[in-house]
Chains A and B, each alone.
Chain A
Amino acid sequence: MDQPDTAKVATEMVQVTIDGASVAVQKGATLLEACQQMGTEIPTLCYLETLTPVNVCRVCVVEVERNRTLVPACSRMAEDGMVVSTDSERVRHSRKMVLEFLGSSVDLSLAEDEVGDWMERYGADPARYGPVSAPAAAGERDARKPGHHHHVNGETAEGVHQPTKVDNTLYIRDYSRCILCYKCVEACGIDAQGTYAIAVAGRGFDARISTEMDLPLGDGACVFCGNCIGVCPTGALMFRSEWELRRADLWDPQAQSVTRTVCSYCGVGCNLELHTQDNRIVKVTSPQDHEVTSGHLCIKGRFGYDYVQNLGDVEQNSIDEVLQAARRRSPK
């Protein structure tokens, strides 16, 4: 047995027409990849290069000739001879509705910046559905059973607002901000971590991300890798430190810097991006394009930095001291 040839990738190409222009892409490429190749921007929410497409947000839909429905660009493969419109009236209308429905029911104020741009581009007006319904009581949405619908009054836009779940020292879950993109479920489960601590529970508008039996995080399968936070596009999952700083109006991106370094905890060589403010680490991420991690970390790499912060017992002091330090330096 000699050394195997490792580079035998078939490079069969297919030709597609996108918005009137013809482009050749590798067989197996998605319409999204074909659009990216042409420089045509397609909005995406539930799509991430490191995760399997789940086609749930529908904001990336495009129109394909002779297809009855609009298709999700993130997962539909390019076929030879396909004729695609990415900006037809039907596409624009559909994207507008998706953005309006999300905007009227979910708090998107911490979503990635592009979401606001898309709202404008597609003329989405979430406010036209009326004021958002009152927040649910803590745990009320989690207790809803499939088939038990309650009546809407038509006066308010039905929303998912509810109190933030704060059940551990490392991260919080604010499902008022959750658009059910499934990214956290995939990062926790099949696409990276293999822990399966969370899944979608409930049906229809009552669907929500839940731990098994709605247990607090520390009582379930969660291993606190924080890979769910790493992929969340709307700030529903957040470092406890970031959440506390935001609550105190001390989170200051202008005063933050990001430094790339290597984790100290084992020999795998995971790259860390340390987000610092006022000489404190306030958040840790890993670059998605980093070969070793694909953006994913473990509990030690993501949260195990308190020992360089000169703090005492974290349960009691960490956040307070970060706050105090920040307050001393940046009075508001």
Chain B
Amino acid sequence: MDDAEVVILWGSNARAAHPIFFHRVIRAVRRGAQLFCVDPRRSESAEWADLWLGIDVGSDIALSNAMAREILSEGLENRRFIERSTLNFDEYARSVEKWTLERGERVTGVPAHAIRTLAHTYARADRAQLCWTLGITEHHNATDNVLALINLALLCGHVGRYGSGLVPLRGQNNVQGGGDMGAIPNKLPGFQDVENDELRAKFEKVWGASIPPRKGRHLTLMFEAMEEGHLRGLYVIGENPADSEADVQRARHLMEGLDFMVVQDIFLTRTAQMADVVLPAAADWCEAEGTVTSSERRVQRVRPALRPPGEARTDSSIISHLAAALGHGWGQPTAEEVWNELRSLSPMHGGMSYRRLEENGGLQWPCLDEDDPGELFLHSRLWANPPVGPLAPFHVVEWAPPVDSLTADYPIRLTTGRHLDSYNTGVQSGSTASPLRFGGTLDISPEDSAEWEIAEGEEVRVTSRRGSITVPARVDHSLRPGLVFMSVHFPEQADINKLTIEAWDPKSGTAEFKATAVRVEKAPALVG
């Protein structure tokens, strides 16, 4: 970031959601880097941008493909990189052929000249960073959205070089680490495939137990399985799906129908209140020993500063005791012992001893042995001559509009996001009295406020095909006519997920939180 010439924030309001990362963006801008923001809202981040592309919600692939066509038709692509290091280019080039600037403008709402400017600037830059967040991934076609961005980076050779890359900004301190540790349905720790017999055997030998040879279900599929009646019991660790799931009334109903639910959490969340058994947990970041892995693959240690309250125990203690109760004598391993076992099984973590993590203030994987300094960025292998390892494929991706379509009955697009001072369903951040907080509101553009004769603070009824809620309106200059916004932080005041749609991406399982069709009306004068 520090040496990038061009920075694109695509579906990311980092100023609010990743403020300290944004300090680096500001530093780059001051140094002369150009900043582009692709976002339906003119967000706090977009206020810093050289150019804001106010895209219509869910048209990201259209924008990407139109940029690609423009880059190709002007001959700005990185031919040498494409020929040497990528696959499937010809098919991709043909697939974007129909995405003229004019068509791009029609579908995305972004003026053709702005698409052209971004395409040219990105392609001509020596070093360009393309960053994204949930604006890309909380869609029914999340994976295709990401592939569309990867295509652009491959087209221009903006990957695997110092100052050039693809930067998915993670929303929690250990989303990356969770995946790295195998908390995804198809992988063992270190991204080793669970359906690979050889790899599974390696783990089985150390663990002294057999591992089911088939991949599991992700969250969305679990709810499907509950609906079909296959899944009857649930063990929830540190998640609050009774507030956070899209189409949350369905999710609550399904969880209520379970035979048995255990919730392990630091709070009695709405989900925990529904559980048969609640296991009080310690807060990992300040009451337990362990590691977390940040967006830049940096593994860092967390340490206990406080004694956990009451009977709360660390997650590892709970899990070890649970194992003992199930007849497995794991003992009570320390966090470091667990970590060292992980290092013996996951090659990319091999060199990360606690001592080195301490000395280096964290290390970035892959870090194969104790002499390995770790990697500042990935995929430099693509620039070796000849490239090392598999070539990077282009993926043909076709634009598909959001599932929840706009009609005369539901003519307004509702999208979601975070505020600077708050976090997810508010379980953690809600405890601090922030002077910045204004609670759950429906944010509307000044134009719509005038047109609908809805004033700041006035109660409005917001209705989607799944539900209806009443919240105060707030006028927000970052919005455009026809686009309204709600934060996800206040489910008790503004139960937004009664509105959102459980249309999910078949590849990642992510629901389309970002695109709901609603209508907005003045709330009836007498409510209750």
Contact = CB atoms under 8 A, between A and B. Distances in A.
Contact of A267 (B171, B302, B422): B171
Given A261-B286, A315-B433, A225 B19 contact: yes
B80 A260 contact: no
Interface stretch (A57-65, A67-75, A87-95, A292-300): A292-300
B128 to A, nearest CB: 12
Contact of B429 (A261, A265, A292, A315): A265
Given A1-B126, A262-B285, A308-B283, A271 B361 contact: yes
Given A260-B303, A300-B423, A307 B18 contact: no
Interface stretch (B249-257, B293-301, B324-332): B293-301
Interface residues of B, number: 66
B172 interface: yes
Contacts of B161: 3-4
B172 A299 contact: no
B420 interface: yes
Given A266-B170, A270-B20, A311 B429 contact: no
Contacts of B306: 274, 276, 279-281, 308
A168 B435 contact: yes
Nearest to B80: A1
Interface string A204-225: 0000000000000110001111
Nearest to A240: B433
A2 B20 CA distance: 31
B122 to A, nearest CB: 14
Contacts of A280: 306
A314 B433 CA distance: 6
B170 A271 contact: no
Interface in B236-290: 266-267, 283-287
Interface residues of A, number: 61
Interface string A299-324: 11101111111110111001000000
Best-surrounded residue of B23, B171, B302, B421 (most CB of chain A within 10 A)? B23
Contact of A268 (B283, B295, B421): B295
Given A224-B434, A225-B19, A268-B21, A263 B305 contact: no
A324 to B, nearest CB: 15
Contacts of B301: 261-262
Contacts of A313: 433
A6 B294 contact: no
A332 B366 CA distance: 53
A264 B305 contact: no
B32 to A, nearest CB: 15
A306 to B, nearest CB: 4
Interface in A172-220: 190, 192-194, 217-218
B170 A1 contact: no
A308 B286 contact: yes
Nearest to B435: A218
B329 to A, nearest CB: 31
Contacts of A223: 420-421, 436
A264 B172 contact: yes
Contacts of B284: 264
Contacts of B176: 267
A259 interface: yes
B149 interface: no
A292 B20 contact: yes
A124 to B, nearest CB: 37
B172 A304 contact: no
A261 B309 contact: no
A304 B428 contact: yes
A291 interface: yes
A269 B296 contact: yes
Nearest to A222: B435
Interface in B292-323: 292, 294-296, 298, 300-307, 309
Given A268-B294, A296-B23, A300-B423, A307 B431 contact: yes
A3 B383 contact: yes
Nearest to A286: B20
B287 A262 contact: no
Interface in B72-89: 78, 80-81
B423 A217 contact: no
B427 interface: yes
B285 A276 contact: no
A111 B172 CA distance: 36
B479 interface: no
A267 B423 contact: no
A269 B383 contact: no
A269 B435 contact: no
Nearest to B426: A307
A311 B431 contact: yes
Contacts of A271: 300, 361
Interface in B202-247: none
B432 interface: yes
B169 interface: yes
A194 B23 contact: yes
A111 to B, nearest CB: 27
A170 interface: yes
A264 B435 contact: no
A261 B127 CA distance: 33
Contacts of A268: 18, 20-21, 169, 294-295
B334 interface: no
B428 A264 contact: yes
B157 interface: yes
A259 B288 CA distance: 12
A261 B301 CA distance: 6
A267 B436 contact: no
B26 interface: yes
B431 A306 contact: yes
Best-surrounded residue of A259, A265, A267 (most CB of chain B within 10 A)? A267
Given A261-B305, A276-B305, A305 B432 contact: yes
Contacts of A307: 266-267, 283, 427-432
Contacts of B300: 262, 269, 271
B171 to A, nearest CB: 6
Contact of B285 (A261, A298, A314): A261
A279 B267 CA distance: 19
A119 to B, nearest CB: 35
Nearest to B29: A194
A85 interface: no
Contacts of A190: 30
Nearest to B3: A6
Contacts of B433: 169-170, 306, 313-315, 318
A177 to B, nearest CB: 22
B344 interface: no
Contacts of B285: 261-264
Contacts of B422: 300
A300 B421 contact: yes
A145 interface: no
Contact of B428 (A259, A260, A262, A265): A265
The 7 A-B residue pairs with the shortest CB-CB distance, nearest first, are A267-B170, A269-B294, A259-B305, A298-B19, A307-B431, A218-B435, A314-B433
14 contacts: A2-B383, A194-B23, A223-B436, A262-B294, A264-B172, A264-B285, A264-B286, A266-B18, A267-B169, A267-B294, A267-B295, A276-B305, A279-B306, A308-B287
Interface of A: 1-4, 6, 168-170, 190, 192-194, 217-218, 222-225, 257, 259-271, 274, 276, 279-281, 290-294, 296-301, 303-311, 313-315, 318
Given A262-B173, A281-B286, 18 more contacts: A1-B78, A3-B162, A6-B3, A259-B305, A260-B303, A261-B302, A264-B283, A264-B428, A267-B174, A268-B21, A269-B295, A281-B306, A293-B20, A300-B421, A303-B432, A305-B432, A306-B432, A311-B431
